[in-house]
Amino acid sequence: MTLQITLEKQLGEINLDIDLNLQETGITALFGRSGAGKTSIINLIAGLEKPDAGKILIGDRVVFDAARNINLPPQKRQIGYVFQGSRLFPHYTVKGNLNYGRRHKDPESLNTIAELLGIEQLLHRYPAALSGGEQQRVAIGRALLSNPAMLLMDEPLASLDEPRKKELFPYIEQLAKEINIPIIYVSHSLDELLRLADQMVLIDQGRVIRHGEVADIWNSEAMLPWQPEQDISVILEACIREHSSRYSMSCLALGDRLSLWTPFIDAPVASRVRMRIHARDISLVRQPAEQSSIRNVIPVSVVDMTSTDNTSACLITLRAGQHILKSSISRWAAEELAIHPGEQLFAQIKGGSISRNDQVANLQPSNAFLIAR
């Protein structure tokens, strides 16, 4: 399933001009500031708004083509949409809502989806009697049961409080694994990006800035504006080499002889995991210290270093095998160690500082996720 989108639309001040080619099943995050045009993009895809020009192809189905005057109405596009608020129909029960978009009302698929989303117990209630998280789960189920060719999700967690968000993460992760359709997920949250997205599209001022693997973009310059200066991080994706049950740690293979020990990840050996490593948790040394408490001392080469005059910190970009790491050290230390690009150093990473929230166990095939808990 491919999705080809070329769109133009004037949205007040912003001129939306998008050219995207999505090949993936799994979750593609549309990431950007509020007002960057993310929601408009999926509204245009769904047919709720009309582009000024362009073309939208889902697989080989043309749903919009300005040149040929084709503009399928939303109900003919077969696109599921999960809105920011749940938009459940207040006069239908949960079951009625779930059934609304179904053509074949076989009980199995309803039960499967209800079970997947944990809403089996709620079928006879009305939306008003549900919590925000439950409403959003029903809305997801309703969209899925309409048998869509692709699923759009517009910040489905944005209207929920923190505990409800946490409650919903596993369901969405599970979902991406179970259903075999592309999901476009609009978000401006780094956490959601880390936890849910396989691919990402960075949007700014109505344009696509970057499109690709989450880790590649996250670790690039393009994402720096989204990361607070005190909390710059990289995403690292690697396979689990081994577990140490004695110390409750897991070892990631960063390269042939490069290992990174982290708190235990509940996933089998050889499965791929993703984790966030904060720059403030990496320090640099010229020679590996002997008899140190730090388990991870990894040979790295300096790729780049940036500092701004009015801050005390200096951000060093490092390469370890295939992986990018970032270290935030003081400018004083950087000057005293006389660090410059191209030279070899050792990065000390405090394994214990990698929190559970920063780990996502990403099972093979690479699009499937499971949270490490």
Footprint of other proteins on this chain (CB under 8 A)? 46-48, 73-75, 77-81, 83, 85, 87, 89-91, 100-101, 103, 126-129, 142-143, 146
Nearer to other proteins, 87 or 331 (CB): 87
Cα separations in angstroms, 43 against 47, 48, 160: 6, 5, 21
Number of other residues whose CB lies within 10 A of the CB of residue 182: 25
> In whole angstroms, how close is the CB of 96 to other proteins at the nearest point?
10
| Helix, strand, coil percentages for the chain (3-state, nearest 5) | 25, 35, 35
In sequence order, the 6+-apart residues with CB closer than 8 A to the CB of 228 are none
> In whole angstroms, how close is the CB of 128 to other proteins at the nearest point?
4
Nearer to other proteins, 124 or 319 (CB): 124
Instruction: Quote the CA–CA distance of 281 and 299 in Å, as a whole number.
Output: 16
> In whole angstroms, how close is the CB of 320 to other proteins at the nearest point?
45
Q: For 54, left (φ over 0), alpha (ψ -120 to 50), or beta?
A: left
> In whole angstroms, how close is the CB of 91 to other proteins at the nearest point?
5
Nearer to other proteins, 50 or 286 (CB): 50
Nearer to other proteins, 100 or 247 (CB): 100
Helical pair 132-145 and 162-178, crossing angle rounded to 10 deg: 20
Nearer to other proteins, 93 or 359 (CB): 93
Nearer to other proteins, 84 or 189 (CB): 84
> In whole angstroms, how close is the CB of 78 to other proteins at the nearest point?
8
**Token pair listed for 227:** 């990361």
Nearer to other proteins, 136 or 233 (CB): 136
> In whole angstroms, how close is the CB of 142 to other proteins at the nearest point?
7
Nearer to other proteins, 92 or 264 (CB): 92
Tokens 């969405």 belong to 172
Nearer to other proteins, 78 or 357 (CB): 78
> In whole angstroms, how close is the CB of 131 to other proteins at the nearest point?
14
Instruction: Quote the CA–CA distance of 316 and 325 in Å, as a whole number.
Output: 8
> In whole angstroms, how close is the CB of 157 to other proteins at the nearest point?
18
Burial tier of 1 (Cβ tally within 10 Å: 0-12, 13-18, 19+): middle
The residue length of the chain stands at: 373
> In whole angstroms, how close is the CB of 39 to other proteins at the nearest point?
12
**Token pair listed for 356:** 């559970």
Are 168 and 136 in contact by the 8 Å Cβ rule? The answer is yes
**Prior bond of 74 cis (ω within 30°):** no
| H helix and E strand count, the chain | 8, 22
Strand order from edge to edge, sheet including 313-320: 282-285, 344-349, 296-307, 313-320, 323-330
Residue type, 95: K
In sequence order, the 6+-apart residues with CB closer than 8 A to the CB of 233 are 218, 227, 276, 277, 278, 279, 326, 358
